[in-house]
Amino acid sequence: MRFEAYVALRYLRGKRKSRFVSLITLISVAGVSVGVMALIVVMSVMTGFDEELTASIMGNNAHVQVFDPFGNPLEDPEAAIAELKENFPEVLAASPIISIKAVLRRSQASAQDYEAGFVIGIDPERETEVTQLADNLTDKRGRQMGAGELPGKDEIVLGWVLANNIGVYIGDQVAVITPSDSPSPFGRISMQAKWLTVSGISQAQMQEFDSVYAYVTLETAERIRGQKGVDAIHCTLKNPIEADRVANDVEEKLGYAATTWYDSNTFFFEALKQEKVAMFIILMFIILVAAFNITSTLIMVVMEKKRDIGILRTLGVSGRAIIQLFMIEGLYIGMSGTLIGLICGMAFAFNLNPIAEGIAAMLGIDLFNSVIYHFDHIPVSIVPRDIIGITVAAVILTFISTLYPAWSASRLDPVDALRYE
């Protein structure tokens, strides 16, 4: 062991008369540990939420949506699908859709029972390969509102919030109201209503989908709109991360317009990133406070060891070695706290759900309501990149906290230090 490291370790042990300094050292270690542990747990939960929400978004949105650049209907969707699969092996599955703006109401409805929404025409068999609509009708992943079956002839699936606002459930009749192409004799735009039976209630675990979207078959959508052709082709890819590249290639090679799952949720994902960065900065202040404790601890050690420093300097120890000695002592404190925080933080994160369930049982409250958060558990994802970033940040703050005490120790005059000894 190097001389500086050996002396720094001896100083950490302390003597009987310097137990107060040792207590402050333990508090500093605990402060760093708590800060690192809090960062790991919070970052892991936020990353878990990000991944779960991203999975929900990708599950309810096609990875790539292809449509006519001028907004015209695609009259031969089968040819378009075959063309996409032939030119892009990345496309695993594709399904045509029709999107209709409509007003929905139940029978004997009052003015409060009308709701605006989007009626999406789908091919039920193909759509299950592109989105998770079929899973939205079940109780998977903590869903409590999903029920029923995919739409058939003259049937409709409603988002559960939309169904609740209208006041209907499976088996009830719903009118899909759209403008009619032929005006009334009085010059007003007449309305046409298509009555459908509710076959299912969908819980997409996203407010945007649950409160706005309804699903019917392509044939039903064509009868509602009174026009042949589809609006777009939904595609799912082998690797969703390549969606931007595939969309650009589709536009360049085939002449279609294309959007990706990320394009339609850009602001949402940017908000998640900024929120995670802001939370990291806020929680770093815990480690910063612990770093100040390390600084004050080292200053007290320098004052207590003034005589020892004078003796070392008299024996020929350089000022640089004194600086290294106290920097190493500070790093011992900081790295010990970081290591303890890493172990405790990862253990806490891995067992967060059992811990939360135990606390909820003791307090008699639901700490994580699946109806509110859309998940049946607290999502946790421990990412090595986050762990490395937290560790590096903690060590850097610890290192900075040692600079002033180490510099002040090296500036001590050995004559002044030994004058009154």
pLDDT digits (tens, 9 = 90+) for 395-405: 998 889 888 88
For the cut 50, the answer to whether the pLDDT of residue 188 exceeds it is no
Write down the pLDDT at residue 13. 65
Give the 3-state DSSP-derived string for the chain, with helices as H, strands as E and coil as C: CCHHHHHHHHHHHCCHHHHHHHHHHHHHHHHHHHHHHHHHHHHHHHHHHHHHHHHHHHHHCCCEEEECCCCCCECCHHHHHHHHHHHCCCEEEEEEEEEEEEEEEECCCCHHHCEEEEEEEECHHHHHHHCCHHHHCCCHHHCCCCEECCCCCCEEEEEHHHHHHHCCCCCCEEEEEEECCCCCCCCCCCEEEEEEEEEEEECCCCHHHHCCEEEEEHHHHHHHHCCCCECEEEEEECCHHHHHHHHHHHHHHHCCEEEECCHHHHHHHHHHHHHHHHHHHHHHHHHHHHHHHHHHHHHHHHHHCHHHHHHHHHCCCCHHHHHHHHHHHHHHHHHHHHHHHHHHHHHHHHCHHHHHHHHHHHHCCCCCCHHHHCCCCCCCCCCHHHHHHHHHHHHHHHHHHHHHHHHHHHCCCHHHHHCCC
Residue 170 confidence (pLDDT): 92
Mean pLDDT for 137-162 is 88
pLDDT for 270-290, tens place per residue? 887 888 888 888 888 888 888
Q: Which amino acid is at 312?
A: L
CB 126 within 8 A of CB 217: no
Whether 203 shows a pLDDT value over 50: the answer reads yes
Mean pLDDT score, 124-142? 86
Q: Which residue has the higher pLDDT, 273 or 85?
A: 85
Q: What is the pLDDT of residues 232-284, one digit of tens each?
A: 999 999 888 888 999 999 999 988 999 988 887 777 778 878 888 888 888 88
> For the whole model, what pTM was predicted?
0.71
Backbone region of residue 255 per phi and psi (left: phi > 0; alpha: psi in -120 to 50; beta: other values): left
Comparison of pLDDT for 252 and 317, the residue scoring more = 252
Among 15-19, 77-81, 373-377, 385-389, the minimum mean pLDDT is found in: 15-19
High-pLDDT (> 90) share of the chain, %: 23
Of the two residues 219 and 26, the one the predictor is more confident about is: 219
pLDDT of 21 over the 70 cut? no
Residue 255's CB is within 10 A of a number of other CB atoms, namely 9
Residue 76: exposed, middle, or buried by beta-carbon count in 10 A (0-12, 13-18, 19+)? exposed
- Flag whether pLDDT at 370 surpasses 80: no
Q: What is the pLDDT of residue 345?
A: 92
Give the mean model confidence (pLDDT) for residues 201-213.
Answer: 85
Most confident of 168-182, 214-228, 261-275: 214-228
Q: Which two tokens stand for residue 350?
A: 């891995």
Please determine, for residue 65, whether its predicted confidence score (pLDDT) is greater than 80. yes
Query: Residue 347: what pLDDT?
Result: 93
CB burial readout 262-277, b (16+ within 10 A) else e: beebeeeeeebeeebe
Residue of 275 and 121 predicted with greater confidence: 121
Please give the mean pLDDT across all residues of the chain.
83
Q: Which is more confident, 289 or 202?
A: 202
Structure tokens at 216: 């019917």
Which residues on neighbouring strands pair with residue 29, listed in sequence order?
A: none
Res 201: pLDDT? 94
Read off the amino acid at residue 287.
Answer: I
For the segment 162-190, the average pLDDT, to the nearest whole number, is 75
Amino acid at 308: D
pLDDT higher than 80, residue 110? no
